[in-house]
Structure 1
Amino acid sequence: MNTNKPLKGTRQIEGKNPIVEALKSDVNIEKIMVAKGRRETGAQELFELAKEKKIKIQQVDRKKLDFTSKTGNHQGIIAIASEYEYAEIEDILEGAKVKGESPLVVILDKITDPHNFGAIIRTANACGVHGIIIPKNRSVDISPIAIKASAGAIEHTPICKVTNLTQTIKELKEKGFWIAGADMEGQKYYESDFKGSMAIVIGNEGEGISRLVKDECDFLVSIPMYGEIESLNASVATGILLSEAAKQRN
């Protein structure tokens, strides 16, 4: 329900699909700015949802949207919404319990590219991940670019921000989780067991998983490379591992 009151902390959601998914969720949206002359073609669902929730739609010059945009690809629509509310680990576990599923979590170690982050969120949602954990420091954060790259999946995928990844991993182990770290020295991913309560740790392309985090992993998994390229984009690697996990778990 929209209060029509200015929000204390706000974020921008840019593009049709991310805004539609925000409208379908419990996100509080203050207003939606639409470029003058933009037709409802291709965005009818968005306008209907906004009307249903009595959210103000403001017609503005496209130049204003260009100036306001953080992604450079607003598609003529930008929403001003409440700040993203990070989840707690218990929220993630409860979400899995409600679905009657063993929890599957992705832990991101030093991922700094918002495009990668958004793509990982999108893939995680598609593969049935119950939540994503990121560290407070030296890590990507929720941004318009990450929101856009997630194609709206961010509104349906709990994200937890923690102070200490190694401590969090220890806590997950105490709750019965197995921790798999993506690393070139690991066993082939398709020979690994991803069933049960599982957390998959992904590091960045350059440094990989930090040593302290790697030491806490129960086992390491690798993606065999058969061409000339020695490594994969973090979001692509995540997609390959989560696809295998989804296949085994379903």
Structure 2
Amino acid sequence: MAGNSQRRGAMRKAGTKKGAVVGSGGQRSKGLEGKGPTPKAKERTGHPAQRKANAAAARQEQQQKRQKKAANSAETVAGRNPVVECLRAGVPATALYVAIGIDTDERVAESIKLAGNRGISVLEVARGELDRITAGAMHQGLGLQVPPFEYSHPDELLRQAHDSGEPPLLVALDGVTDPRNLGAVVRSAAAFGAQGVLLPQRRSASMTAVAWRTSAGTAAKMPIAIATNLTRTLKDWASEGLMVIGLDADATISVDELELATGPLVVVVGSEGRGLSRLVRETCDQTVSIPMAAGVESLNASVAAGVVLAEVARRRRVAGRI
């Protein structure tokens, strides 16, 4: 019968009748309403600017994770001279890696002997594995794994200084970024009777194996703390009765006139290049300079610290004999 054909395409599908079959229900008028301001490109889903912003945020997050992991992970010292010097200095270590088939010389033999005497594991590894452990550094067949340094809290540093039986003498570093300078300051602090060293959390060297080695092992006996905010910590210590002096080449008072040396004291040492930062300088009760011959502008930070600490120790010895 005409019109009843069941062949494909012969029947109109339901809902395809021409003309309006259902009312809009007011949806058409709503469609004419504004949708507000256009979002920024980086806030639009799928927009290239948004993908770029998301990628940048992901990279920053990964970088922060790597930095955190590096800060909390062990350090590997590479090279025959650095390894044997660290072992001689008593740097704490957990493992000595020796490449299989290495050409043995006196440094290798001494490193293995020192590690064995201290109970440090000596592990033979393939050269390729040692390349991976040392991140491609020039290891010469030796690598020494050093655990992260255990820092004290600034409050603990102050408590130990008060409990020492001597007038507190603490050293704070401001902007010293060379670990060798840090190690040398720690060594001077131990030599001249200081009870601890304070480091700022930012823009500062940390106690790496290089600093350990330069300290000649004194870092094992010297408490070292990290201040989240160096200026605030110095103010807290000042409120506890300590006088804060800073080394400044432009100071009007010479270290020869340092009458505060015999009392509770914090010696603040700045970087060789820019010295003390403005906020730290303003926190100091007094700034002192070191007399030098004409033509010499400044001293290495660790040398300057040693000069002042030696003068403090001398004045304290003299006061103790009076």
Whether contact under 8 Å (1:15, 1:75) holds in the other structure is: no
1:42 shift after superposition: 6.2
Pairwise CA RMSD of aligned residues?
Answer: 3.1
Any idea what SS the aligned residue of 1:134 has? strand
State, as a whole percentage, how many aligned pairs show the same letter.
35
Q: How far, CA to CA, are the matches of 1:229 and 1:69 in structure 2?
A: 41
Q: How does 1:13-92 map to 2 (within 5 A)?
A: 14-22=82-90, 27=92, 29-33=93-97, 36=102, 37-39=104-106, 46-47=114-115, 49-50=117-118, 53=119, 55-59=120-124, 68=134, 78-92=143-157
Higher gyration radius (CA): 2
- In structure 1, the residue matched to 2:303 is 236
Deviates more, 1:75-84 or 1:98-107: 75-84
C-alpha distance after superposition, 1:111-170 (max 9, x if no partner):
122222222222222222211111111222232332332222222222111121111111
**Distance change in 2, residues 1:190/1:137 (3 Å):** same
Q: Which residue of 2 aligns with 1:189?
A: 255
Name the CA shift for 1:45/1:120 in 2 (closer, same or farther; >3 Å).
farther
Distance 2:76 2:311 in 1: 34
Q: CA deviation at 1:85?
A: 1.1
Maintained 8 Å contact 1:10/1:80:
yes
Q: Could you say which structure has the higher strand fraction?
A: 1
Q: Give the TM-score, by structure 1 length.
A: 0.79
State the alpha-carbon separation in 1 of the partners of residues 116 and 304 from structure 2.
37
Offset at residue 60 of structure 1 (A): 6.3
Q: Does the C-alpha gap of structure 1 residues 167 and 16 become closer, same or farther in structure 2, counting only changes over 3 Å?
A: same
Structure number having the greater helix percentage = 2
**Residues 15 and 148, structure 1, Cα contact 8 Å, conserved in 2:** no
1:146 aligns with 2:191: no
**TM-score scaled to structure 2, two decimals?**
0.63
Gap regions ≥5 residues in structure 1 = 1-7
- Counterparts in 2 of 1:12 and 1:32: CA distance versus 1, 3 Å: same
Q: Which residue of 1 aligns with 2:201?
A: 136
Report the AA paired with residue 46 of structure 1: L
Structure 2 Cα separation of the partners of residues 201 and 109 of structure 1: 7
Q: d(CA) in 2 for partners of 1:208 and 1:224?
A: 16
Distance 1:94 1:75, change over 3 A: farther
The equivalent of 2:30 in structure 1 is none
User: For 1:178-217, what per-residue CA distance to the aligned partner results, in whole angstroms no more than 9, with x for missing partners?
Assistant: 1011012321102103122110011112211111111111
Q: Do 1:20 and 1:45's aligned partners in 2 also have CA atoms closer than 8 Å? A: no
1:108 is displaced (CA, Å) by: 0.7
Q: Is the 8 A contact 2:149 2:208 kept in 1?
A: no
Alpha-carbon separation, structure 2, partners of 1:46 and 1:138: 34
Distance 1:92 1:45, change over 3 A: farther
Give how far 1:173 is off. Answer: 0.7
Instruction: Compute the displacement of 1:176 (Å).
Output: 1.1
Larger RCO, structure (CA 8 Å, separation 6 or more)? 1
Equivalent residue for 1:118, pick from 164, 173, 183: 183
1:27-69 Cα shifts (integer Å, max 9, x gaps)? 5x3212357524487669834632xx4x31235689959x939
CA distance in 1, matches of 2:187, 2:168: 17
